[in-house]
Amino acid sequence: MLHKLLRKNISITQFAGYAVGAWVGMSVIFITFCFWMDVRPLFSSEQSILKKEFLVINKKIPVLAVFGKSKAVFTDEEINEIKQQPFVRSVESFVPSGFQVTGYTDPVGQIGAFQTEMFFEAVPDRLIDNPGPDWKWEEDKRLITIIIPRSYLNLYNFGFAGTQQLPQLSESVIQQITFHVVLQGNGLMEHFTGRIVGFSDDLNTILVPQSFMEWANRRFGAPAQTGNTSRLILEVSNPADPAIPAFFSTKPDYEINDNKGDQGKLSYFLTLIILIVFGFGFLVMLSSIGLMLLSINLLIYKNQEMLGNLALLGYKRNKLALPYCYLVWFINLLVGFSAFMLTSYIQSLYQVKLVALGLTDFSNSLFLTAIFAIVFVLLLSLLDTSWIRHKILSIKTPIKG
């Protein structure tokens, strides 16, 4: 009886308008959140060694380098000029090995007897994305952990192995194989064990931990060999900043890692678009919440005298707020559920396109979206409930005549 009495003057049109607006807002927010969770692996791939905010640059090889008259290295003045650019946060250089490196395998191993001259380079460990627990150097263990370009493994598998009657090796298998490494320099020659712990699509070099390179260059390296900076790593605030190509267009002898830049630009623009759509959904949601709060406010104002009299008769104000709270919770739960079901349907439509990009697991993203939707609806309903209770408590009790 109390519920029927308190629901007088309810405007179906106003609450229907709130429900439609909230449904549109929630649908946009949930779909955007789910889509971002689905495509995020494209930009956090384990194939990426460098973090996405970093670009690699080098100088083009001059013609005179053939005759030993010139080298493709950066001068201190050029490095300082790059550091002063507004889009650059920091500049780091590749540290080359100033000693001879030879790698070979045991004749009885999985790939037979194999020997090659090698080179090492190092970059600061903070630039490497998820290096793993094995990415370290401990002098007493004499184990050198290495990251190689993925193209090197492809050359072995699809070029060398087939012609030499050797087995092809997967990434997981080759990471279990150890080989011998011989370092020579400064009149010293020492033997170490090498093991590949990762692969890179970003860097066409053989990486070792910076701590190892510093130790090895002190022990085996020649200062004249280790002082030349041939490649730089730039930490940039935004890989899609138009100032980056504008600057390098004035430097025809500089080369930039285009793949890394393109990935950063794509990631940046996709993130920007998703944030814009997400923001649009929130704006629609906020306008709907405003309409709902206004409707509740008008409803309570129309029933103000009746609510005051009921409070005077001994009804607790929290109990008087319950019918309105139940109504709001019912609408929010219904709208949230329908918005999530629409999100699930939309995901099933774009899944086919994402599968073509190598994405196959979508269950986790939908589960996270469900968690997000539940939390969102609960917070929204608690906000509405708090507003209703505040308005009910603010009603003055009529003075007895």
Q: In whole angstroms, give the CA distance from residue 155 to residue 150.
A: 9
Where in the sequence is the domain holding 39, given as residue range(s)?
2-44+265-393
Residues 100, 215 within the same domain: yes
Q: What is the pLDDT of residues 312-323, one digit of tens each?
A: 555 566 666 677
Residues written for the chain:
401
Residues 116, 223 within the same domain: yes
Residue with tokens 């329908």, as numbered in its chain: 338
Residues 285, 361 within the same domain: yes
Residues 113, 224 within the same domain: yes
Residues 118, 220 within the same domain: yes
Residues 284, 382 within the same domain: yes
Residues 280, 167 within the same domain: no
Higher per-residue pLDDT: 336 or 162: 336
In DSSP notation, 372-387 reads: HHHHHHHHHHHHHHHH
Give the sheet arrangement for strand 54-59, strand by strand.
Answer: 88-93, 231-236, 54-59, 254-256
Residues 207, 99 within the same domain: yes
Of the residues 177, 208, 228, which one is the last residue of a structural domain?
228
Q: Which of 337, 285, 196 is CA-nearest to residue 18?
A: 285
Residues 284, 389 within the same domain: yes
Within 8 A by CB and 6+ apart from 96, the residues are 119, 120, 121, 225, 226, 228, 230
Residue with tokens 């970003």, as numbered in its chain: 202
What are the φ and ψ backbone dihedral angles of 225, each rounded to 5 degrees?
A: -80, -30
Q: What is the pLDDT of residues 361-392, one digit of tens each?
A: 666 888 888 999 999 899 988 888 887 777 77
Q: In whole angstroms, give the CA distance from residue 50 to residue 261.
A: 12
Residues 27, 125 within the same domain: no
How many domains, in total, are found in the chain? Answer: 2
Q: What is the pLDDT of residues 242-253, one digit of tens each?
A: 788 788 888 888
Residues 213, 118 within the same domain: yes
Specify if 124 maps to a domain: yes
Residues 152, 99 within the same domain: yes
Question: What pLDDT, on the 0 to 100 scale, is given for residue 337?
Answer: 94
Of the residues 181, 210, 228, which one is the last residue of a structural domain?
228
Confidence tier at 283 by pLDDT (50, 70, 90):
confident
